[in-house]
Amino acid sequence: MYVAVKGGEKAIDAAHAQLRRERRGPLDVPELSLAQISFQLKLAVDRVMAEASLYCPPLAALAVKQACGDLQEAVFLLRAYRTTLPRFGSSQPVDTSSMRVSRRISATWKDLPGGQILGPTFDYTHRLLDRSLSRTEGAPDTSAPLTEEKLNVKNLPRAMSALNAEGLLEPAADTSSCREVADLTRRPLELPADGPEDRPVRLQTLARADEGFLLGMAYSTQRGFGAVHPFTGELRRGFVELVITPEELDFPIVAGELEMTECDTVSRYTGSAMPPCLTRGYGLVFGNNERKAISMSIVDRALRAKELKEPVTGPAQNPEFVLLHGDNVDASGFVQHIKLPHYVDFQAELSLIRSLREAGKKAADASPSRGERS
Amino acid sequence: MNTQDRRQQYMRLLSLAPAEELEHFLAGLQLPPWKLLRGPESGLVMVRGRINAEGALFNVGEALVTRCVVTLPGDTCGCGYVLGENPRHAELAALCDALWQKEAYAPMFDTELKPRLEKMLQEREEQAGKEAAPTKVDFFTLVRGEDK
């Protein structure tokens, strides 16, 4: 049992003051602005929004600054802020097919209708440190190339539709009987959550899960702890419109544009639940977050083991394991609470160990022959 | 086009436009007094997706939005919803929505504000198209010896 402590206010205040000084760093170094964080550390901001499950780039940038760049701490700050806001409603499903893409690739179709658009990417870079970036003045020219050529970047055809036309994809799930959309933030997860009807709540859990955790889970299935060896059917990133029907009006309106990353993976299926086909996994996350979108789609597919009658051989196929351990606010709180004062609990541990030793010693003293026999 | 379609169309433009653009446009007009009926206030909208863009609905996460409702003399109400913490933008969007419903303002909004906002969105899309064009890639697969 945890017994609370009191006091320490002065030291705690001083510790927080020291944290503020450390956050600011040397005063002769210019202070970071939120705009600098939003634009120049954008991927950190995007990661914080995805894991906090709250899309708001300026507030995520503020959280990154306040947390001194500790992204999990920033996620915690944004999650905590979210609890102070009322819910206005739910959106219509975002139409990722009409996304205005900045990047869109397929690893399965070379001649993808609409084209493979690399967009800004770390892929194919040599991962050599670029010393020119250590200067902040006279930085290299980053202006856009002058071109008159324009690509159509909206309403690109979906890569998977060709497979669908040939009938090689698994049949689409019947969604006509779907109940209300399960919402983790309103009702806690109910286990076992391993049926096809639980896929929506699993996806919500994965969309807000820690990127590192999801990456490790996805990697484990590829290495053999599970049986998902997928291809990226299509990966797209860009802007989608947020459409809501506000309570003041009886028709839907566009409230703004969100940046999202979507990943559609396919993997070979030769099990017994249906004829040989390609099964699909799905990832959809806020911001520019490819590693997470891919990991999410692999783990989504792995978690369908029961539905697809696959042997469960790895942790990534176990919904309880994956869904209950991927949230970094939960995990970090529970793991890190052990650094807070546990003086009374620890005294109890000590006295338990002491009494066990004492009892052991007494028993040994009572039977002196034991020592001779050994 | 019926009134609702028209309103939907311009409310989209008002939300996607930068607040400064609305501010700038309204600054040049004689405006009736307006009252705030609701907000501006921030809240959450749960963003939904569809599995593989065609299956069941699921919740992706929430987005922060700001909303505002204004009323003009004569009880015309205007409503504004914008993404992010932008009280001024929400109020201006609501005010424009209200004015756009008034016969005295609608023609001017249609001929001056609408094309300006549409042009901005079109330019945004064209810019994205221009940025994307040089990164369009044509990979080719290598012919291997045994295929000859």
Residue of B nearest to A207 (CA): B60
- DSSP 8-state secondary structure symbol assigned to residue A339: G
Q: Looking at the predicted complex, does its ipTM rise above 0.90? A: yes
Average pLDDT over residues A240-269: 96
Residues of A within 8 A of B55 (CB-CB) are 172-173, 175, 282
Residues of B within 8 A of A251 (CB-CB) are 4, 7-8
Percentage of residues in chain A with pLDDT exceeding 70?
94
Q: Do A87 and B50 touch (CB under 8 A)?
A: no
- pLDDT computed for residue A178 by the predictor: 60
Q: In angstroms, rounded to a whole number, what is the distance separating the alpha carbons of residues B69 and B76?
A: 10
Q: Which of A178, A242, A252 sits opposite B63 (nearest CB)?
A: A242
In chain A, domain spans: 9-82, 96-120+149-171+184-331
Cβ-contact A45, A61 below 8 angstroms: yes
- pLDDT computed for residue A120 by the predictor: 93
In B59-88, the residues whose Cβ lies within 8 Å of chain A are 59-65, 67, 69, 77, 79, 81-85
Cβ-contact A61, A69 below 8 angstroms: no
pLDDT tens, residue by residue, A278-291: 999 999 999 999 99
Q: Which of B45, B52, B139 sits opposite A244 (nearest CB)?
A: B45
Average pLDDT over residues A229-256: 95
Q: Do B129 and A102 touch (CB under 8 A)?
A: no
Q: What is the rounded radius of gyration, in angstroms, for the C-alpha atoms of chain B? A: 21
Percentage of residues in chain A with pLDDT exceeding 90?
74
Our CA-based measurement puts residue B77 at a distance from the nearest CA of chain A, in whole angstroms, of 10
> Is the minimum CB–CB distance between B37 and chain A shorter than 8 Å?
no
Asked if the model's pLDDT at residue B141 lies above 80, the reply is no
Q: In angstroms, rounded to a whole number, what is the distance separating the alpha carbons of residues A41 and A273?
A: 46
Q: How far is CA A201 from CA A52, A87, A306, B4, B45, in A?
A: 16, 19, 16, 34, 17
A140 vs A15, more confident: A15
Exposed/middle/buried for residue A212 (C-beta within 10 Å: 0-12, 13-18, 19+): middle
Average pLDDT over residues A16-22: 97
Average pLDDT over residues A215-237: 92
Residue of B nearest to A110 (CA): B139
pLDDT tens, residue by residue, A29-71: 999 999 999 999 999 999 999 999 999 999 999 999 999 999 9
- pLDDT computed for residue A368 by the predictor: 66
Backbone φ, ψ for residue A94 (5° rounding): -65, 140
pLDDT-derived band at A2, boundaries 50, 70, 90: low
How big is chain B, counted in residues? Answer: 148
- pLDDT computed for residue A164 by the predictor: 79
Residue of A nearest to B37 (CA): A248
In chain B, domain spans: 3-107
Average pLDDT over residues A297-313: 94
Our CA-based measurement puts residue A341 at a distance from the nearest CA of chain B, in whole angstroms, of 35
Average pLDDT over residues A355-374: 78
Q: In angstroms, rounded to a whole number, what is the distance separating the alpha carbons of residues A86 and A60?
A: 18
pLDDT-derived band at A374, boundaries 50, 70, 90: very low
Q: In angstroms, rounded to a whole number, what is the distance separating the alpha carbons of residues A162 and B95?
A: 46
Residue A5 CB partners (closer than 8 Å, separation 6+): A341, A343
Cβ-contact A230, A321 below 8 angstroms: no
Closest among A90, A41, A30, A85 to A63, alpha carbons compared: A41
pTM for the structure as a whole: 0.92
Asked if the model's pLDDT at residue A326 lies above 50, the reply is yes
Asked if the model's pLDDT at residue A179 lies above 70, the reply is no
- pLDDT computed for residue A309 by the predictor: 92
Q: In angstroms, rounded to a whole number, what is the distance separating the alpha carbons of residues B136 and A112?
A: 11
B26 vs B145, more confident: B26
Q: Do A87 and B45 touch (CB under 8 A)?
A: yes
- pLDDT computed for residue A138 by the predictor: 65
Cβ-contact A335, A314 below 8 angstroms: no
Interface A–B counts its CB contacts (< 8 A) at 234
Q: Do A90 and B56 touch (CB under 8 A)?
A: no
Asked if the model's pLDDT at residue B148 lies above 60, the reply is no
Asked if the model's pLDDT at residue B147 lies above 60, the reply is no
Say how many C-beta atoms besides its own lie within 10 A of residue B30's C-beta.
Answer: 6
Asked if the model's pLDDT at residue B90 lies above 80, the reply is yes
The answer to whether the Cα torsion of A143, A145, A147, A152 is positive or negative is negative
Place of tokens 């001194």: A68
Average pLDDT over residues A195-206: 95
Q: In terms of DSSP H, where are the helices of chain B?
A: 3-16, 19-27, 87-100, 106-108, 114-132
- pLDDT computed for residue B80 by the predictor: 96
Q: How far is CA A49 from CA A38, A53, A64, in A?
A: 12, 6, 10
pLDDT tens, residue by residue, A293-303: 999 999 999 99
Q: In angstroms, rounded to a whole number, what is the distance separating the alpha carbons of residues A279 and A170?
A: 5
Q: Which of A97, A118, A203 sits opposite B135 (nearest CB)?
A: A118
pLDDT tens, residue by residue, B92-139: 999 999 999 999 999 999 999 999 999 999 999 999 999 888 899 888
Bond into A30 cis (ω within 30): no
Residue A226 CB partners (closer than 8 Å, separation 6+): A220, A302, A305, A313, A314, A315, A316, A317
Residues of A within 8 A of B49 (CB-CB) are 93-94, 96, 203, 284
Closest among A234, A233, A210 to A322, alpha carbons compared: A210
Average pLDDT over residues A15-41: 96
Asked if the model's pLDDT at residue A146 lies above 70, the reply is no
pLDDT-derived band at A28, boundaries 50, 70, 90: very high
Average pLDDT over residues B84-95: 97
pLDDT tens, residue by residue, B47-76: 999 999 989 999 999 999 999 999 999 889
A215 vs B75, more confident: A215
Asked if the model's pLDDT at residue A90 lies above 90, the reply is yes
The answer to whether the Cα torsion of A28, A41, A100, A182 is positive or negative is negative
Our CA-based measurement puts residue A346 at a distance from the nearest CA of chain B, in whole angstroms, of 40
Percentage of residues in chain B with pLDDT exceeding 90?
78
Bond into B40 cis (ω within 30): yes
Q: Do A53 and B61 touch (CB under 8 A)?
A: yes
Quote the mean pLDDT of chain A: 91
